[in-house]
Structure 1
Amino acid sequence: MNHLSGKVTEKAVEGVKLSKASQMILDASNDSCNISELRSDGDYLTDSGIEYQGGAYEGSRMLDDGRLLSTNVVNPMVTEKVDELSGNTDGATIKHELLETIIGVLNSPGSPAATSPQNRAKGYDAAHKGAKALDKNYKDLDAVGGRLERRRIHANGKTVETQEYFIKDRKTGKEISTGKFEADKKK
């Protein structure tokens, strides 16, 4: 990994047959025309203020130099809980989000962020389905909705907002917290 740019490069181990998902990630790491960005975040909101549960498809756009940039935002602390709740192996949700952004830039260039059913249909739905097909280890979280709880604390003349996201497990009916985070102030 380039520590200045954050670009990850990969090289296959000689003699090892890669899965289709691993091959796609390897190819994407060497693609100079399409950039697949997986950006980590520490709360439940995208930069535009949209709530998300672990990962958010941000779509893709053309850069000034003609390359395409596709972005997914993830909260690694939450994806760890999502993996635990859904029975995924460690890291499966992060890998799924990475595959979504790669498939999105390749198959739906210029697709919008998945902020509405109409926008989801323009790239996210196909990218999500494609990522699930490529990685059979990934399972969608079997949950009923979710609830974001915000608390504002006023202390020493400052206002601090914390966010905690709860998911109700469909199997047990139990509501589980995916973590509590101090929220960044979004404009």
Structure 2
Amino acid sequence: MPMDDFRAQVDAEEPSFDLLRHCAKRYDVSLMAAMLKWIELAPKRTIVLAVRDDHVLWARSNRAAFISGAYLATRKMTIPVPSASIMHSRNCKTQTAINKIPAFVWFRKEPVDMPLTEISFVANQYGITLGILLLPDAQPRYWHQDKNETDDTGLESTIDLFERRGQTNIR
């Protein structure tokens, strides 16, 4: 899957399994391989995953999602699919589906009012459901303070303290 050609196929296109199936067919690869290539190019916070028996088999976050803390650590623990998700077995009514739910359902650190878009594809021949989780841009959890500025508690930042004591500037 040459990156330039792949990018030309997916740029300016809404994420969907139709788009990913087109790419998989074009490059003669599996749908999962196309998903994993696409996640490298996804501009927003995005997670792709595979689900079986209402548990996440594997998940991959793009850089924007990972840095913001939106990832599913499937190597460390078994992660159940939230019951409100369209990827939960009792909610899978069609082969492909799109749903909007609060991001809090999947990621407890996200704000309660932040939306998340789920896109699912049921691959019956393999007994799994493939999914895409699309999050809006992260809301800043901290802010950069100007030099010698203090926060609401009157304390200066650690970086400013180091600089004031003559240590190397690490900004």
Fold in common (TM above 0.5):
no
Higher relative contact order (CA 8 A, sep 6+): 1
Q: Which has more radius of gyration?
A: 2
Give the TM-score normalised by the residue count of structure 2: 0.25
Per the normalisation by structure 1, the TM-score is: 0.23
